[in-house]
Amino acid sequence: MENVTLALAVLLAAGMLTAKVGQLLKLPSVTGYILAGLLLGPSGFGIVTMESVGDKLHHFTQIALMLIAFGIGEQIEVKRLRQSARSIGVIGVAEAAGALIFVAFASFFAARLGGLQAGWSTDEYLALALLLGAVSVATAPATTLHVMRELKAKGPLTSTLMAVVAINNGLAIIFFGLAMSFAGQIAASGSGSVASAMLGSLLEISFSLSAGLLTGLALSFVLHHLKRQDEMLTAGLALLLLSGEGCRYFHLSPLLAGMAAGFTVINRVTRDVRLFRALNAFEPPIYVLFFTLAGSHLDLSSLGSAGWLGLVYFLCRIIGKYGGAYAGAFFTGASPAVRNYLGLALIPQAGVAIGLIFLISSDQDLVAFSAIITPVVLAGVVLSELSGPVCARLAVARAGESGEDRDQAPSGRVEKGGNNGIRGQEAFALTPWSWEKLIPHPIPEGVVAFGAKQSAKVKGLARMATILAHHYNALPMSVRVVPPSGMEYVLPGTAGALFYLERDEVEQLGYELQTELVPDEDVASGLVAAVEFNDARAVVLGYPIEGTFQSFQEILEKVAKNVACPVVLVRFYGELHTEKILVPVRSLEELGDVAPVVHALSRVGEHQLTILYLLSADESDERVEFKKRQLADWLKRLKITARITFQIEKTEARQETILKESGKHDLVVMGTSKKNMLKKLFFGSLVETVSRRIRKPLLIVYRPANEALLAGRKLQ
């Protein structure tokens, strides 16, 4: 593939699709990106290779590394880490030393006893072992940061991890400089001294950090004079990339410079984080390209050529990292989460390690070492990049610092897996009825039917059906559809016992429950028959009624298509409250669809309703005022006396606005019409999209498909 634009499209699409598949298997996105690159690279289909477009996309890698380094610097906030600064330093040195010592010793004995290279002296085996040990110290900051951001991780482990990663790569450069000097002396009979190698490494680190410090100060100065986010993003990128290229020109470390720049910005007294947030929005496609390209550079053939020494390197690096981190955390009194899980999160290894082995291969005196080290380290990188993100995710989850866990498992609530595609579906709890009992109409007309299949949710359905029945001057009716063959097991006089749960709830609200036992093999047709026979004014269904979501969808569509009344779908989540109700709409037509439910809820207890009218972000102020007048007229016509607030929002993302506002309310009511499949395919469904993500009880009102029958019925 020679076309760079086409290559970009393929890399982005493949990376995103593979990440989505990985998420279904609970794998971090970065693992999916790397696997996509592996499939596209020489180890897979050979679509992307260094010879075709790999070199042409190299600048994306440089941009990504600078952004990653800057993001790591944000995590090293002195005020937040001051209390643990000593422990972080000790842990960082301990885990780096652990990896160096374990890998060096194991590699030395494995290579020596196995006779890896005929004619080598003990000093040459020692130089090889030290080089492998020094490279093993490096950790992949990009992988680690991406996993932490994806999980929205926050806590002692996360803070310690990001600080240790920053220390890690500085120590890797120092150790590597010393090992290179020693190996050079062995290979070239004293081409340099250990002291000069150490001095050179220290100077490189010092100058790199100084360049980052100056960049950070320049960023702070520029940000102070800019107001718009797009200007901050442009100026910030320019300065960061200029710093990175300057470091490369003078053979310094852009990674350390980027970390220092982020560290400087976050620790200034102004603590201006706007650039970090602006870059967060810019980073995703760059990150996808970076990790997918990294995966395409991995060659699985190196696993075979590395042999047992590659396996020794990989396993001993993990043991050294974990053991060193545990020992350092234990002796400094760090929290159990840091002590037990930090080592797992330090397994990823990629860019820095690959850069170090390239330095070895570029030294003509170390060609003999490079021939062995390159496949060994690349084998370790392949294994660590595939397993490392999973281990980092596991560490954060076990430490209880995942933002996903905090979002999905509020205190005191139990999570359950649902069939409806909604993450974190919770166990349903019904708040006891505390308002005055409702007074039924003396001459009720018709019923509000509800399907009573799920015993866990039937009381909630009974409550919603009773509230609607009170509005329609009707009676609540529980409908159970059973196969004709099952009717023989219902003994005469005992059918009423099947409805005891919903009957108890309805009576608490002041009504008398009507019941209907329908013999039918098909649940949907049984419900439709009960609705038609009993002159139902509305149908209330729970989500889902039974079986899989697909079978429920078929039932819902069949009922909504064949009844002449609204169908109210109730999706329970957590604890059902109805005090604060949010009603998002995009038009007065949608508002009319949900009007009966809104009116019904307004007549019971002390409800506070918010009509959230969504407009496009570019609508004029005159349009907003016009909509306010329309809504006021609608309220007068409907004669609702409850407290109703009209909130008109000009939004760029309707779904996000609804999700944000839902956090302030107890219940969300939305309307939807019967769309044909073509419209749904092209334009989608706002209700379905919101229902997959919202974490509140949700009522979805389906306008009857049979409008002719509805027109002949008088509805309030």
User: Domain holding 253: CATH number?
Assistant: 1.20.1530.20
The whole-number pLDDT of residue 306 equals 59
**How many CB atoms sit inside 10 A of residue 497's CB?**
10
Q: pLDDT per residue over 586-623, tens digit each?
A: 888 888 888 888 888 888 877 788 899 888 776 778 88
Instruction: List the helix and strand counts (H, then E) for the chain.
Output: 27, 12
Specify the range with the lowest mean pLDDT, choosing from 54-63, 217-226, 466-475, 702-711: 702-711
Q: How confident is the model at residue 351 (pLDDT cuts 50, 70, 90)?
A: low
The whole-number pLDDT of residue 682 equals 43
392 assigned to some structural domain:
yes
Q: How far apart are CA 615 and CA 651, in angstroms?
A: 6
77 assigned to some structural domain:
no
The whole-number pLDDT of residue 466 equals 92
The whole-number pLDDT of residue 447 equals 92
What value does the mean pLDDT of the chain take? Answer: 76
How far are the Cα atoms of 305, 500, 507, 538, 712 from residue 564, in angstroms, in the given order?
Answer: 72, 29, 28, 9, 9
320 assigned to some structural domain:
yes
The whole-number pLDDT of residue 403 equals 64
The whole-number pLDDT of residue 545 equals 46
pLDDT higher than threshold 70 for residue 180 = no
Q: How far apart are CA 239 and CA 582, in angstroms?
A: 45
Tokens of 530: 């009960």
The DSSP bridge partners found for residue 643 are 608
515 membership: H or E segment, kind and range: strand 514-519
CATH number of the domain within which 626 lies: 3.40.50.12370
- 667 neighbors 580 (Cβ within 8 angstroms): yes
pLDDT higher than threshold 60 for residue 362 = no
281 vs 475 pLDDT, higher one: 475
Q: How far apart are CA 483 and CA 494, in angstroms?
A: 17
Specify the range with the lowest mean pLDDT, choosing from 22-36, 46-60, 125-139, 510-524: 46-60
Q: Give me the mean pLDDT over the 269-298 stretch.
A: 74
Do 397 and 509 belong to one domain?
Answer: no
Give the CA angle between residues 617, 622, 627 to the nearest 5°.
80
Specify the range with the lowest mean pLDDT, choosing from 294-303, 496-505, 632-641, 655-664: 294-303
The whole-number pLDDT of residue 420 equals 39
Do 184 and 235 belong to one domain?
Answer: yes
The whole-number pLDDT of residue 710 equals 46
441 vs 652 pLDDT, higher one: 441
413 assigned to some structural domain:
no
Q: How far apart are CA 566 and CA 586, in angstroms?
A: 19
pLDDT higher than threshold 70 for residue 186 = no
Q: pLDDT per residue over 384-425, tens digit each?
A: 877 877 888 888 888 777 765 544 444 334 333 333 333 334
Do 376 and 437 belong to one domain?
Answer: no
Do 518 and 400 belong to one domain?
Answer: no
The whole-number pLDDT of residue 413 equals 40
Residues in the chain: 716
Q: Give me the mean pLDDT over the 268-287 stretch.
A: 73
Total domains in the chain come to 2
- Choosing from 389, 404, 419, the residue where a domain stops is 404
Specify the range with the lowest mean pLDDT, choosing from 22-36, 431-445, 642-656: 22-36
Which DSSP state fits 428? P
pLDDT higher than threshold 60 for residue 712 = no
How far are the Cα atoms of 403, 512, 518, 606, 702 from residue 476, in angstroms, in the given order?
Answer: 42, 8, 16, 22, 19
pLDDT higher than threshold 80 for residue 106 = yes
Do 181 and 324 belong to one domain?
Answer: yes
- 258 neighbors 64 (Cβ within 8 angstroms): no
Percent over 70 (pLDDT), the chain: 75
**How many CB atoms sit inside 10 A of residue 222's CB?**
16
Do 555 and 696 belong to one domain?
Answer: yes
Give the CA angle between residues 62, 298, 288 to the nearest 5°.
45
> Which structural domain, as residue segments, surrounds residue 260?
4-72+91-404
Q: How confident is the model at residue 300 (pLDDT cuts 50, 70, 90)?
A: low
382 assigned to some structural domain:
yes
Q: pLDDT per residue over 463-503, tens digit each?
A: 999 999 998 999 999 988 887 765 554 555 555 667 888 88
Do 339 and 200 belong to one domain?
Answer: yes
Q: Give me the mean pLDDT over the 165-187 stretch.
A: 68
The whole-number pLDDT of residue 131 equals 85
417 assigned to some structural domain:
no
Q: Which amino acid is at 351?
A: G
307 vs 384 pLDDT, higher one: 384
Do 351 and 473 belong to one domain?
Answer: no
Nearest CA to 536 among 458, 586, 483, 596? 596
Do 443 and 505 belong to one domain?
Answer: yes
Do 351 and 461 belong to one domain?
Answer: no
Q: pLDDT per residue over 447-459, tens digit each?
A: 999 986 666 688 8
- 584 neighbors 614 (Cβ within 8 angstroms): yes
Nearest CA to 291 among 672, 11, 44? 11
Nearest CA to 474 among 262, 714, 692, 275? 714
298 assigned to some structural domain:
yes
Q: How far apart are CA 713 and CA 716, in angstroms?
A: 10
Specify the range with the lowest mean pLDDT, choosing from 16-25, 215-224, 399-408: 399-408
Do 590 and 641 belong to one domain?
Answer: yes
- Choosing from 338, 371, 404, the residue where a domain stops is 404
- 316 neighbors 384 (Cβ within 8 angstroms): no
User: Side-chain half-sphere of 456: how many Cα atoms within 13 Å?
Assistant: 14
125 assigned to some structural domain:
yes
DSSP string for residues in 285-296: HHHHHHHHHHHH
Do 475 and 399 belong to one domain?
Answer: no
